[in-house]
Structure 1
C-alpha cells in the first residue's frame, strides 16, 4: 500500500474539526483548542519553558498537543524513534503527546488522521465513542 502524502498543519485543523460534536475555542493567545463535549483533544500550545531548543534555549512556538488513550499509548509514540512525537516533564502523568508543527511532514496524512481520531476517541463520551466506532468499523 502506498504511503499517504505528507501531513500538513492544515490537516490537523481539517481532521480535528471534521470529527463529530467538535467545538473550537481559542486560548488567551488565540491558539485553537479542539474539544468534544467540552474536553480538549487537540490544541495548539503557546510557547512554554518546558519545550525549548536544547541548543539555543528558545521556546518552541509550534507545539501541538494530542490526547492519547493511555500511558502505554503515549510511551509507544514517544519512544518510537520513527515518530516525531515527544513529551516533557510538564506532561508527566498526562495522557498526551507533543508534536512540533515544523516536523508534521514526517507523518503521512493517514497517520495524522489516526492520531487525531484516537485523540477524539480518548476524550469523547462513551456514547459518542461507541457510535463513531460502529460507523467506522472500529
Structure 2
C-alpha cells in the first residue's frame, strides 16, 4: 500500500476495509455498515448507545466506529493517551476493540488508519488467510514472531 501522510477521512475507513481480501459488507442495523471477514466483523459503524456520549450535553454519539484490535495491550496503547481519537467505554471492557468517532478520523493519517484496519482484519481473519496476507504484505513477519 502506498504511504500517505494525508489525514484520513471517513471514506478512507470504507475504502481500506474493502481493500482487504475476502471482505463482505452487511448493512447492519439502521444501514450502518459492518465489514466482515469469514463472517466475523472487524470494523463496524455502531448505532448510538448510552455508553458513548458527549459529557457536556449527554447526547449519544451517533458516529462511533468499532474497530477490532489484536490484543488488550494494543487496545491499551491506543486508548491511554487522552489526546488520542481512539477510546473505549466500560461497555467494551474485555472486548478486543477500540472506538473511534467518525468526526475524529481526521486526527490520524491514512497510513495510521490503514495499519489499524489491517490489524483489525488480521485479528478476525482465519489463520490461513492472515498468514497468506502477511506473506504478501509484510515480508519477514514470520521471522520476528
Q: TM-score, normalised by structure 1?
A: 0.96
Aligned equivalents of 2:95 and 2:123: distance in 1?
12
The correspondence of residues 1-138 of structure 1 with structure 2, limited to 5 A, is 4-136=5-137, 137=139, 138=141
**What is the alpha-carbon root mean square deviation over aligned residues?**
1.2
Q: Distance in 2 between matches of 1:8 and 1:76?
A: 22
- Determine helix, strand or coil for the equivalent of 2:29: coil
Q: CA deviation at 1:27?
A: 1.2
CA deviation string 1:77-96 (max 9, x = no partner):
00034521000011000000
> Which sections of structure 2, spanning at least 5 residues, go unmatched?
none
> Whole-Å Cα distance in 2 between the matches of residues 82 and 5 of structure 1?
19
SS of residue matched to 1:5? coil
Offset of residue 98 of structure 1: 0.2
Q: Which moved more, 1:73-82 or 1:55-64?
A: 73-82
Verify the 8 A CA contact 2:44 2:65 in the aligned structure 1. Answer: yes
For residue 31 of structure 2, give the secondary structure of its aligned residue in structure 1.
coil
For 1:134 and 1:124, locate their aligned partners in 2 and report how far apart those are by CA, in whole Å. 14
Structure 1: tracts of 5 or more residues without a match = none
8 Å CA contact retained: 2:29, 2:47: no
Question: Could you tell me how far apart the structure 1 residues matched to 2:70 and 2:119 are?
Answer: 7
1:93–1:55 distance in 2 versus 1, CA, 3 Å: same
